[in-house]
Amino acid sequence: MADIYDIRGKVAVITGGGTSMGLLAAQNLVALGAKVVIGDISNLGPAAIAEINQSANAHVATFHHCDVADPAMLHSLIDFAIAEFGQLDILINNAGILDKPWQHDPTGESARRCIDINIRGLIDGTNHALHYWSQDEKSQGVVINLSSLAGHVPMEFMATYAATKAAIAHYTKCLSTLAPKVRVNAVAPGGVNTNFILADHLGLDHFCVTYSGLLEPQTVVDQIIRLIQDTTMAGDVIVIRNNQPHEVCDRPKSSVVEKMLIELAEANKNKKN
């Protein structure tokens, strides 16, 4: 049996953690004995933090306002966690946004913002954490990246988002050689039952959503916890699909991708008809 990374006493930073799946990950980590620092551009975090601390009857969570597209704010988030709790052990790069279809993005601003948050911010935060861990030869760290099934299946209605998620998966694989000092892994879920899916160009009635169904956030968080705890996993990407076995792979087999593309195209055709 693989050695299990003990989460008790560890300090985790979660970007985009003020609501939804990021907040759920924070709650799960605290339940396992960790302390968490939630970074979010939204100001919804403080109330959630108070509830976490009250439930734990201890100061185990705190909030720091952060726009991950701003390098200074992102570095400040990580430095704040170290100052607040004395260390950094886990970084969960959860922050992410959708782009708009190109027809509705004449200046490209939506695409640029998507790139800045989804991939530039993720790499910048990871680099800052890696430099912190490199200062002490005994220190170890875990990074969990949020990729997406969209990174494996081309989706023209959110092309920039899909491209960033493909980049995240590849970036994760590229850092596999940092183990065992730093283990970098990623989850790549399909559609998740959060407000994220309610974007104007998606929605619950979108053919892609009705075709694949929705994952519950806890299903994704369970795999995040798995990637943190399992010390044999480094550079791994877990593809999470509704009602199907979770697949640990570089990317789904070509036959799987081809089948999904055909089925998605057929679903889209039927929707238009």
* Domain 11-272: homologous superfamily in CATH: NAD(P)-binding Rossmann-like Domain (3.40.50.720)
Spatial CA neighbour of 63 closest among 99, 19, 18: 18
Owner of token pair 């601003």: 109
Catalytic residue check, 5: no
Q: How far is CA 210 from CA 15, 106, 150, 215, 271, in A?
A: 29, 29, 15, 12, 10
CA-to-CA distance for 130 and 126, rounded, in angstroms? 6
Neighbours of 62 (CB within 10 A): 18
Choose the weakest-confidence range: 94-108, 167-181, 226-240: 94-108
For residue 246, count other CB atoms closer than 10 A to its CB. Answer: 17
Torsion from C-alpha of 125, 215, 194, 184, nearest 10 degrees: 0
pLDDT value of position 245: 64
More confident residue, 190 or 5: 5
Closest CA to 195 of 180, 175, 212, 217: 217
Q: Indicate the helix (H) or strand (E) that contains 240.
A: strand 237-240
Lowest mean pLDDT among 97-106, 159-168, 176-185: 97-106
Domain ranges of the chain: 11-272
Q: What is the pLDDT of residues 88-146, one digit of tens each?
A: 999 999 999 988 888 888 999 999 999 999 999 999 999 999 999 999 999 999 999 99
Indicate the pLDDT class of residue 251, thresholds 50, 70 and 90.
very low
Reported as a pLDDT band with limits 50, 70 and 90, residue 219 is: very high
Identify the active-site residue in 132, 161, 171, 211: 161
